[in-house]
Structure 1
Amino acid sequence: MSKIGLLGCGTVGTGVYEIINEKKGNFFEENNYKIKKILVRDASRKREGIPGKLLTDNPDDILNDDEISLIVAVMGSYEQEYPAIKKALQLKKNVVTANKEIISKHMEELLDLAKENGVTILFEASVGGGIPIIESIIDTIKINKINKVQGILNGTTNFILSKMTKEELDFDEVLKVAQDMGFAEADPTADVDGFDISRKLTILSSLCYGAYIDNDDIYTRTVRNITLSDIQAADDFGYVFKYMAESELYDDNTFGASVTPVLIGKDSVTSNVNDEYNVVSINGNIIGQLSFLGRGAGKEATANAVVADVIKVLTKSVHDYTHLKFENEYKSCGIERYKNKFYLRVSIKDEVEFAKTIDIVYRNIENVNLSYEDGKVFLITDELTGEFMSTLCDRLSHVTEDVFYARIIDNIL
């Protein structure tokens, strides 16, 4: 009987333990698979509901145990997990991980290492929480060429933007609520500044395009600068804010990829994906658009995805990953191909800043829908390129420090 080693006993690790050892999942009610050892930072500290004899602070107690054939890595630490995953594969142990940073940086290397040693590494939980997006992409690319990935990939920031919109609260107020509810970390940087999302987009884009898409090539902007006045202005214009991940392949072997706040129409399906839910869409040359919706944050959603991979390994029903290749080469074109309408808000202190702002706007943009209220200029532009808008806002930032803009996406599910 295969035994399991669990690296990590935090929120997700505890959820995995409960499903497997406490037999909360249907599969484990009928089968006697068990977690034999759990790696923690402090083995002397008691964990409610988990026998102390299972705990160890030495990874070798798990990695060198011949009875353990499957390693589940959910510590969330790059420095600890990456060498442990490599060693596990070299020791011919199967691996399931939720670590998006490791997979985004080393997916090809780890897949090759698993293949060399006749074992498997699965990472469904690294993207999309409870959405089976990795498996769906691997199925789709057997037939289709995918040229676009788009979606809401972070439950924390979607919860924040949804609550700001529904309850008319400021960003900092809602962030505190999200932290109190366990949706946001004490240090929310990875979520609200887009690093978590860009890693997920790296994984999805690399799989879809058969090329390693470098995280450094993903243009990323924070959601920290969205204010309640932006939320209200968007509503007046007929839009809602979402934190959108997008990548697209172009015909000249270039690609654009971004993680940015965007405005989308209130009547779209995506605008109504709220709270901790995620949605991911891919576009295949044969199947067309495929979309996937589910919970993207929380203990249960992520633990469910991890354990689903565990069951695939235990039952030998693993997808064939051997056809995955990353041999294509594409050059990043940044955001120069993006052409959209834009929302712009400029906060001004006096008449001088107002005059300079209006002068810059009308010198550079035609057909502006502009309004002014409570020391803020709000406007919607005609279609502009992303690079043009970025340059324009750099100019405006020399007039006033508080400048915010967002693309408007009209052609979305």
Structure 2
Amino acid sequence: MKPSVTKTWGRAMGRIIFWAVVMFLSGASAGPVLAQNDTGRVFTPAKQFPGIPSISGVPVPREGLPGFDLPNTPRDGRTLDVDWFPHKDGETPLAAWIRKNQQVQRPSQPEVIAATLEARAKELSISCTSSTLLACKQRDALFGAAASLLAGIVAAPDCDTAAKAFAPHYRSADPPEAISRNYDMACLGSIQPRREGAGVEKPKTAPPIISAGLRDPANGIMAMIGILERDGNPICGSLIRPDRTIVTARHCYDKHRSAFEAHSVTVRPASGLAGPWSIVGVKSKPAVDTDAAADDWVVLNVASAPDFAVPASTFAAMPFAGAVTVVGHFAHFKNVDYQDETLPGWKKGLRFPRDGLCQSVQAVRGCLQIACQTVRGFSGAPVFLPSAGADGKPQVVGFISQDYSAQAKCPPALIGATLAVASGQID
């Protein structure tokens, strides 16, 4: 039976109204918004943000996404261009803002990366001769990093499976409790002792530089690792320096810019012995805001406080692959039990990757590519070498930035790697 004229007309009007709403919300009158990258490849913003819903190719924020601040006051595209960051060709201000402010870390899959590093090392073996010692050193470092990852898998046999199960969930929504708990216990060590099973305490061994910091919290790395909090909720990591500044990822600042400007963001040392201290303004940042991981840094000023006392660290280079470590705040810390349940949340969430499962695998154009269990909350956290330098100070080689798939540029990209700003880029 043919549909009636009234029904047909109603359906047609429904389609017209639907597409009118779509075009209005997308901010475009001539079809889906497209963006252009450096290679000339056209892509839709929806493909840039897995798990983020889209309207006609333009992603929109998920309702209730923590810390997702839209502009407080109306701004036209020209003002956004000057005050915030440059847009890609054809982007609306909303699409550009969303592109710069996603949670972009992801769990590393050590088995896959170890295989990739071994393959690269074998390729370098062909060019390794007595006259090309650099290639030989690179080859040996890659083999060493791959071996460490494989050893880490042996020590934490459930991590690879747990990371693969965790990865598809956490970027767009909170994963099921069982999945996040399994990942937490399998892949991450906790600064505060956790319990597993029938009340049995099973602390994970920390890398040497972290262990030393725990033994001497006032003078070790725990006193210089800054936990950035907004209204008491951890948002990012940072490095606190004796000159009353902190270094963190610029995308952390961009995402919470209104809160930083209102001085409602604080930083406290992971030791818990002082602070929290207010952040009072920007000291320095890259001259140009780009998507390059090497430009994802900002130096912020800390307000004067009587209890401010921070030990010094040094910036070091990472020319070859090798072990690194990091302490960050794990967003899903509530899914495990602790020896002391009375601890504040920021302390309960402090995590580090399991031994061997955090390797810097490549340094390119001011950024590091690392295979490490750095997930939501680790942005801006300083990346340390496993032991102190000759001067006895902890060595910082970079700051956690973004996952390579978020259009952060650090070619050639290693699939599954997280990017970090190399320390040499920081003023």
TM-score band (shorter)? under 0.3
Flag the structure with higher helix content. 1
